[in-house]
Structure 1
Amino acid sequence: MESGTCRVYITGVFPELEEGRFSAKGLAGDVFTVEADFLSDSFERVSGHLLIRHETRQEWERVRMEDLGNDRFRGHFRLTETGFYVFTVEAWIDHALTWQENLRIKLQDRQSVEHEIAEGIRLFSRMAEDAAPEDKPRLEQINSELAGTDTFHLALSQEVTDWIHRYPVPRHRTRYRRELTVFAERERAAFSAWYNLFPRSTAPAKGLHGTFATTAKLLPRMAELGFDVLQIPPVHPIGRQFRKGRNNAAVAQPGEPGVPYAVGNELGGHDAIHPELGTLDDFRHLIRQAAAHGIEIAMDLAVQCAPDHPWVSQHPGWFRHRPDGSIQYAENPPHKYQDSYPFDFECDDWENLWKALRDVVFCWAEWGVRLIRADQPHGKPFLFWEWLIRETRAKYPDLLFVAESFTKPKTIDLLGKIGFAQNYTYFIWRNTKEELTEYVHELAGKSAFLRPNFWPNTHDINPFPLQSGLEPVFLTRFFLAATLSSNYGIYGPVFEQMYHEAFPGQEEYLNSEKYEIAHWEWDRENKLTLLIRLVNRIRKENSALQRTDNLTFVHLPNDALIGYLKVHENGNQVLCVVNLDPHHRQSAGIYLPPALIGRREDEPYLVHDLLTGNRWQWQGDWNYVELDPAILPLHLFRIEYPVS
């Protein structure tokens, strides 16, 4: 129980996730911000500290918290390395600041301040006792000057205020009742451009099966396009029993390759390599070659087994059985997945099941994998993922899990809290200005635990707007994904070549690569590939585009136009404007108050379109934009000044 002499009540601490059960998200090198309400029982001034330490250290570092008004305080701390940080806050009645404030008020009211001066001398004597040796002489000098005849100017000076902040003399600190945590991850968790392909579809000639070697030959092109993550589906042996055929046919025809997500056959399971792709040494070589091009390989974790996976015969109790004794295949009505068996996480042997899946992740980590995309994690127990991520962080703290989670919003939120570094989102179904604005605002309120990864398409989803095949739609959907979010991805060759044929009436691709081997013209160039290359370069050159929680929508009185400003702490400022109408030229005034970019009303500045090289001089609150989808429906302005 706290001492009855503690007179500040602490509440409203942010971020605090589920009463401290989960860790907030942070990034090594970034500033971490904490806010809290400090409530006192009187008019006296309150001060507080943010206390933070890395998990490997015992000593707290204290940072003064800024008074935001209305009892709200904020503190900042730079996370200098990866791993867990522990943090909390403390507050106290600040008698020194109260003394200075009372002195100011009494002087303005022409009251006697004899007692206040005496109190100031006493306070600075205590400060001098606690001060570092190099600060003692000045504090003692101030104390001596306060005893003089003309002390008011000094007592109310900013210098004295700064000394009060540097050497607080709290009598009774209130410490928040919980110690909270933030997990600082590496930069890739916050900034990445993903390219998804099927290695079996990388062969140079039609009709051949691609390999890790043919995939490696594409790495220079992917790096030149600006991608830094290559995401591939499972690379393990594919089940032969109940194998699916072309366009999800229930029965495969001879020679059809099957679905990579039906993991396992007599050659092995999740720790084996599909022999037609190559050997384990070939895969390790691909990982090393990718790294040499600045690209990471993201593995797909499919938590399921084909009927002929070794685990099915070795551990039949890990699977759910029908009354007739047969194993129940996976279903998500009306969809049926006869080629895959889901695990029964309620089985009696659940602990060994968990350990086996953990060992798969550890095996991949030994191969060199540091990015894992979990396939539909919302269909497996949350406690399992919480445990798996905790176990993995303890041994491989740089390994990142990404949740492919198109599910209910609260479930997506929970996966983020559990520890997934990134989450797929509903961006794929947000198309209008109102939908996009509302959704990005919603995500901004979740930045403490959720990092969105925006995909305009996936190998599972061919959204209806893209089925039009209109070039401006592909351009705008790519651009929105890559600039609204600092993490984004595309289902590579399908998207960049603007393939759009759909299974009738569904948001799925006709002749999907999930069920067959495709052949792509990897050297094809079009306006979209040019835009991808350019935007990825611009993202790497402009830090404002490397974070997601730094966005402000700007007003455009035209629902076909959407605009947003992104600002980084180093001063980099980027303004994006998009024409959402693929058919017509659109124009409008754009309202950008100069105060938002640190300018005065009378100060001109340049907006430099990094896509075209054009520059315009703007000034004041209102300026003008016009975009023709037949030319380019996008502006990516860098705000530059001064104007010469």
Structure 2
Amino acid sequence: MTSRLGLDDVRPAISGNVATKAVVGEVVPVFALAWREGHDAISATLNVTGPSGATATIMTRSPLDPDQVNATFVPDEVGDWTFRVDVWSDPIATWKHNVTAKIEAGQSIAELANDLEIGAQLFTRAAGLVDASNAELLRSVASGLRTGFDPRAMVAPAFSREVSALLAVHPLQELLTEGEEHVVKVERRKALVSSWYELFPRSTGGWNSAGEPIHGTFATTMAALDRVARMGFDTVYFPPIHPIGEINRKGRNNTLTPEATDVGSPWAIGSKDGGHDAVHPALGTLHDFDRLIARATELGLEVALDLALQCAPDHPWAAKHPEWFTVLPDGTIAYAENPPKKYQDIYPLNFDNDATGIYAEIKRVVMFWISRGVTTFRVDNPHTKPTNFWAWLIDEVHQVHPEVIFLAEAFTRRPRLYGLAKAGFSQSYTYFTWQTSKQELTEFATEIADMADVSRPNLFVNTPDILHASLQHGGRAMFAIRAVLAATMSPLWGVYSGYELYESQAVKEGSEEYLDSEKYELRPRDFEAALRRGDSLEPFLTTLNKIRREQPALQQLRSIHFHRIDNDHMLAYSKVDPLTGNTVLVVINLDPTNEQAATLHLDMAQVGLTPGQVFEVRDQITGESYTWTDDNFVRLQPWRDVAHVFVLPDVAEDRREALAWRAVDTYRA
């Protein structure tokens, strides 16, 4: 049966009753459509329950939509939270509207007699809902409505701030309609706010006296972490550190004819030295790995391990559990293929064969590494494994270790990308690498903000697999441009080692593979020498990470607003933190070769300012300050600066929540 009062489109909500996403300290905007017949007032309450208690807040009507109600909440601990929107007839609000209209129309006290008595009865009823001291206040309002000669003076106490505040906590409700409960899965803050740096531990060994690369170890990796921490990154990601298969091992540049000294691909996991719960002997021992984890923790770094569910032909699983793979008619095990690509050094697991055994073994492996201090996993190609497996595994892990973060390396179509996020992945790779034009970037950034309840995008500027054409041909300015975009469009971003050295040579024209790819050989790098030569982007990356730490607006995902700038090679967007009012405006030149200039037309309401207001902006990259207003001339020269990251005046406290609602209004539209 349809309820007397209408309640529709409650958000955040995901189809299928999947939990939406949030992290500790994140402002979660809630809204709904609340409506009824006639003209009587209707109100709504947001009821939030966390692991340690419950709260109730009366929601506010949107100034942009009279049928929309809004509120926010900020979870303060990890766990499953629930919220419910209740709607109810608000007789006191109805009375206030009616009596005000009649007084303003000049009606006499005699004409208002019934209205004043109705008000007195309502406040008498409301007094029965509160404690003795507050009840006395409400009874005095009722008494005042029954005595006096001036209607304005008689109703004034009913409109006082003290009475309004009391009724906001203890409203008089009629026709209460309870909504459905919605679940919000709250993770630790690093699931949303983090700066990743990817490096191969085996490439940290430097060179010998003959100039030949030396295989790195956990000890040399430990030394390399100091530089990563100095740059301001807080998560360091290692590709697989397990033994590497020898059967069908790949050589340099993915050749099928390796030399005896070739080290192979770390994603070809497993050999006579062990499988997914072992480390490559050349890197060291598990004890050495434990020392590496301890050092990373001292530096404020979290180690992310690669979880790649595939095997080399000589992985122990292949001999012990051939039923876990696909056996071809000729009796051989099928290697991985993504036609026309072939991966002869990898056997993919077949999750339809002995699912019970495979599930249990993978859970054991994950728990093994968690026991050694690993709390973040970058999952390789999760879209090639069953989604229900990931939902099961992540839930099993989170029941015991809710702090564990899973990043999905899923460069795939939207339904699968978002489906994996719904299955429980904390973060996901995205299409960012391939978005280069003003229109593409605007649509992409709008989408990731709109989908914040579902997915948290980690914007990697490059990966060992992806050297985009823009970096191959755009010159050094393009490296800075892409870094600014990634670091400011999402609170999650990542860099693969070598980016700061402007590595840009592809294996061939039209390919996104690096020449002499580190996936197949040791690639030690002399970062210090590049710094001394002034030939490194490292200082710029350090500055971006510093800005991200200092500006709360860049630590939120849910809202981004693009401002009109009359040049197709330039982009301008702002972010506002609803808690602090911190406001950041990014203006960027997308052209890595030419100077670009334009007039930026600032949407003042979206940054909490008044049209015509004059204010100061300070560029966090250069430290320069400018006096601005609605329309401002901007010039950016790629050989000098590719972008401004401006801090604007903080949004006033009484406007912050409305900006969060406005972002949601845009989403609804």
Q: TM-score, normalized by length of structure 1? A: 0.95
Residue number in structure 1 paired with 2:15? 18
CA deviations on 1:561-585 (whole Å, 9 max, x unpaired) are: 1111122121222111111112211
Spell out the pairing of 1:50-199 with structure 2 (5 A cutoff).
50-54=46-50, 56=51, 60-68=54-62, 69-111=65-107, 112-149=111-148, 150=150, 151-176=154-179, 178-199=180-201
- Give the match for residue 412 of structure 2: 407
SS at match of 1:289: helix
Matched, 1:29 2:32: no
Match of 1:318 among 306, 319, 324: 324
Higher alpha-carbon deviation: 542-551 or 108-117: 108-117
Residues 225-234 or 352-361, more deviating: 352-361
Deviations 1:51-74 (A, max 9, x none): 1212x45x6421211122332111
Q: Deviations over 1:575-598 (max 9, x none)?
A: 111111122111111111433333
Q: Are the equivalent residues in 2 in contact too, given 1:237–1:263 (CA < 8 A)?
A: yes
Does residue 636 of structure 1 match 2:633? no
Counterpart in the other structure of 1:591: 601
Contact 1:269-1:310 at 8 Å conserved across structures? yes
- What's 1:451 paired with? 456
Q: Write the distance in 2 (CA, Å) between the matches of 1:607 and 1:155.
A: 44
**What is aligned with 1:236?**
242
Structure-2 separation of matches of 1:114 and 1:542 = 57
Match for residue 573 of structure 1? 583
Out of 558, 561, 567, the position equivalent to 1:558 is 567
Counterpart check, 1:8 vs 2:11? no
Q: CA deviation at 1:469?
A: 5.9
Matched, 1:370 2:372: no
* C-alpha separation in 2, matches of 1:293 and 1:303: 30
Q: Is the 8 A contact 1:247 1:511 kept in 2?
A: yes
How far off is 1:489 after superposition? Answer: 0.5
- Give 1:345 deviation, angstroms: 1.2
Cross-structure match for 2:220: 214
Instruction: Give the Cα separation in 1 of the matches to 2:166 and 2:647.
Output: 40
Instruction: Tell me by how many angstroms 1:133 deviates.
Output: 4.1
Residue equivalent to 2:496? 491
Change (3 A) 1:134 1:225: farther
Tell me, yes or no, if the aligned pair for 1:453 and 1:485 is still in contact at 8 Å.
Answer: yes
Deviation at 1:456, TM superposition (A): 1.6
Q: What residue is the counterpart of 1:394 in the other structure?
A: 399
Write the deviation string for residues 343-396 of structure 1: whole angstroms up to 9, x where unpaired. 11112x112211111111111110101111111111111101111111111010
Alpha-carbon distance, 1:135 to partner: 2.1
The CA deviation string for residues 142-173 of structure 1, in whole angstroms up to 9 with x for no partner, is: 22222222413333445444333222122331
Q: Tell me whether 1:603 sits opposite 2:602 in the alignment.
A: no
SS at match of 1:123: helix
**Structure 2 Cα separation of the partners of residues 394 and 17 of structure 1:** 22
Matched, 1:283 2:300: no
Q: C-alpha distance in 2, partners of 1:407/1:305?
A: 22
Residue identity in the other structure for 2:245: G
Distance in 1 of aligned mates of 2:104 and 2:474: 72
Partner residue in 1 for 2:666: none
1:357 correspondence with 2:362: yes
Maintained 8 Å contact 1:245/1:515: yes
Q: Is the 8 A contact 2:446 2:560 kept in 1?
A: no
* Aligned amino acid, residue 266 of structure 2: P
Q: What letter corresponds to residue 596 of structure 2 in structure 1?
A: Q
Gap runs ≥5 in structure 1: none
Counterpart amino acid of residue 6 in structure 2: Y
Q: How far apart are the structure 1 equivalents of 2:158 and 2:57? A: 24
Report the residue type matching 1:498 in the other structure. Answer: Y
CA contact (8 A) 1:226 1:536 kept: yes
Deviation at 1:548, TM superposition (A): 2.4
Deviations 1:243-277 (CA, angstroms, capped at 9, x unpaired): 11111112322121111111111221111111111
Choose 356-365 or 97-106, whichever is displaced more: 97-106
Question: 2: CA distance between counterparts of 1:359 and 1:186?
Answer: 23
Aligned pairs for 1:504-523 within 5 A: 504=508, 505-523=510-528
Return 5+ residue gaps in structure 2 as ranges: 652-669
Q: Secondary structure at the match of 2:537?
A: helix
Query: Aligned equivalents of 2:357 and 2:147: distance in 1?
Result: 78
| Distance in 1 separating the partners of 2:114 and 2:649 | 54
Tell me by how many angstroms 1:401 deviates: 0.5
**Within the alignment, does 1:466 sit opposite 2:471 as a pair?**
yes
Instruction: Report the residue type matching 1:370 in the other structure.
Output: T
**Aligned equivalents of 1:71 and 1:612: distance in 2?**
46
SS at match of 1:277: coil
Shift of 1:89: 1.4
Is the 8 Å Cα contact of residues 457 and 491 (structure 1) preserved in structure 2?
A: yes
For residues 60 and 596 of structure 1, the distance between their equivalents in structure 2, rounded to whole angstroms, comes to 32
For residues 134 and 29 of structure 1, the distance between their equivalents in structure 2, rounded to whole angstroms, comes to 35
Q: Counterpart of 2:205?
A: 203
Mapped contact 1:389–1:419 kept (Cα < 8 A): yes
Match of 1:542 in 2: 551
Structure 1 CA distance for aligned equivalents of residues 640 and 161 of structure 2: 56
Q: Is the 8 A contact 1:97 1:161 kept in 2?
A: no
Q: In structure 1, what residue type is equivalent to 2:58?
A: R
In structure 1, C-alpha distance between the alignment counterparts of 2:133 and 2:378, rounded to whole Å: 53
> Does the Cα contact within 8 Å between 2:584 and 2:646 map onto a contact in 1?
yes
Give the deviation of 1:468 after TM superposition: 1.8
Q: Secondary structure at the match of 2:600?
A: strand
The size of the alignment, in residue pairs, is 632
2:507 match? 503
Offset, 1:411: 1.3
TM-score, normalization: structure 2?
Answer: 0.91
1:572 and 1:165 map into 2 onto residues whose CA distance is 28
Q: Does 1:426 align with 2:431?
A: yes
Q: Distance in 1 between matches of 2:338 and 2:257?
A: 19
Describe the SS at the equivalent of 1:452: coil
**Comparing 559-568 and 291-300, the one that deviates more:** 559-568
